[in-house]
A and B are shown apart, each in its own frame.
Chain A
Amino acid sequence: MKQVKVLGSGCRNCVNTAKLIADKAEALGVAVEIEKVTDMAAIMSYGVMSTPGVVIDGVVVHAGGVPAPAAVEGWLRA
């Protein structure tokens, strides 16, 4: 089970990012638990200033903008 955190204030891009990851995980059959982190202090504690950011199993893999679908697949397969 991969722990995925989507960092963002709840803007549309953040919602889209979470949905993209959920859809890809389902398509690939990877078990994920997606959490949306909206608390600013928590977001900044990851060193991320540009949202949405993506954290997988505690590691920041992406910051700023909706990630590319190919990149999402890469993280989920890893």
Chain B
Amino acid sequence: MFVIFTRLADWLVFTQLGLAHGTKLSDALHFFVEDVSKIFVLLTLIVFVVGMLRTMMTPERLRHTLAGRRRGPAYVLAGLLGAVTPFCSCSAVPLFIGLLEAAVPMGVTMTFLITSPMVNEVAVVMLGALLGWKLTALYFATGMVVGIVGGVIIDALGLERYVEDYVWKIRMGQAAVPAADLTLKGRMAYGWSQVREILGRVWLYVLLGIGVGAGLHGYVPADFFLRHAGPDNPFAVPLAVLAGIPLYSNAAGMIPIVEALLGKGLPVGTVLALMMSITALSAPEMMILRKVLKLPMLVFFAAYLAVAFMVVGYLFNAILA
């Protein structure tokens, strides 16, 4: 099914540009052309289809769904809803306040905020298409577990006290938000508006990600990562997590990099740790959350995620070695 993108890259790089097979430039360019065409076609399709399906899943409804649940199921539900709810980090603050105001426990809310950027339909379908369903299932399952365990710990430690005081004073109005247009036409229109909005937001990250991936693919010697971050280096996993913090990208932009790293033989656990760190641990997101969380909570949150990603990395390196 994806062979047409390989053919397109073959045609462009070897036939049209007349580059020789196996040079650094042609390798990098081939990777770039193949991934750009494949990823943008996939992204458009996924976002459109999922957009049509989830016309009804709004944050307002999420709040309604999570309010008044028993805790146990609520964590799992919050994790799963995180995976299917459209989310942009600019909505994190109103979402956070809205959930707390509906008496959803802080930990359940944080579960949602952890899984939402990390696990979503774009990540799942692109990982599945480019890297295989096994890695996708691992990523999905560990993302859920990290989110749910994080939420449970936050509630167990009573970290609600580190929420900014003004948050508790906000009262939400009951204004009825207009119902979505659920006719086929309305859903298609919504699907396209999602394609425009999401692609408009992520295209640069995706291009940068593919560019970095292509550079790695073509220009970094095959054994470079194996020598420096391979299974023999006990510090490879923490380094991967650290490397992911300044690297901020959404799931779509990170996948080509991951593809290239796996191609260079980096162990799966190390790559998973890097992926999670890139999507869920980022300075911009922390700055946004600082508006509602006091500093100790934010430090705890970042530290928990870093530790959790390292555990995931070591665990899978050990299991899959």
Total count of chain A residues near the partner, CB < 8 A: 25
A28 within 8 A of B: no
Number of A-B residue pairs with CB-CB distance less than 8 Å in the complex they form: 84
B318 within 8 A of A: no
Contact A63 B91 (CB under 8 A): no
Contact A11 B90 (CB under 8 A): yes
B169 within 8 A of A: yes
Q: Which of B88, B170, B194, B197 contacts A40 (CB 8 A)?
A: B170
CA distance A8 to B94 in the complex (A): 9
Contact B193 A47 (CB under 8 A): no
Known contacts A40-B94, A50-B94, A64-B58: does B197 contact A13 (CB below 8 Å)? yes
Kindly report which residue of chain A lies nearest to residue B102, judged by CB atoms. A49
Contact B60 A47 (CB under 8 A): yes
B2 within 8 A of A: no
The secondary structure that dominates the A interface is loop
CA distance A51 to B254 in the complex (A): 26
Q: Which of B91, B169, B197 contacts A49 (CB 8 A)?
A: B91
Contact A44 B178 (CB under 8 A): no
Contact A47 B174 (CB under 8 A): yes
Contact with B along A17-52 (1 / 0, CB 8 A): 000000000000000000000001101111111110
A66 within 8 A of B: yes
Q: For B90, what are the chain A residues with a Cβ–Cβ distance below 8 Å? A: 8-9, 11, 13, 51
Supply 19 A–B pairs (Cβ within 8 Å), ascending by A.
A8-B90, A11-B88, A13-B90, A40-B94, A40-B170, A45-B170, A45-B172, A47-B173, A49-B60, A49-B63, A49-B91, A50-B58, A50-B60, A50-B91, A60-B175, A60-B177, A63-B178, A64-B59, A65-B193
User: Measuring CB to CB, which residues of chain A are less than 8 angstroms from any residue of chain B?
Assistant: 8-9, 11, 13, 40-41, 43-51, 53, 59-66, 68
User: Measuring CB to CB, which residues of chain B are less than 8 angstroms from any residue of chain A?
Assistant: 58-60, 63, 86, 88, 90-91, 93-95, 97-98, 101, 166, 169-178, 189, 193-194, 197, 291
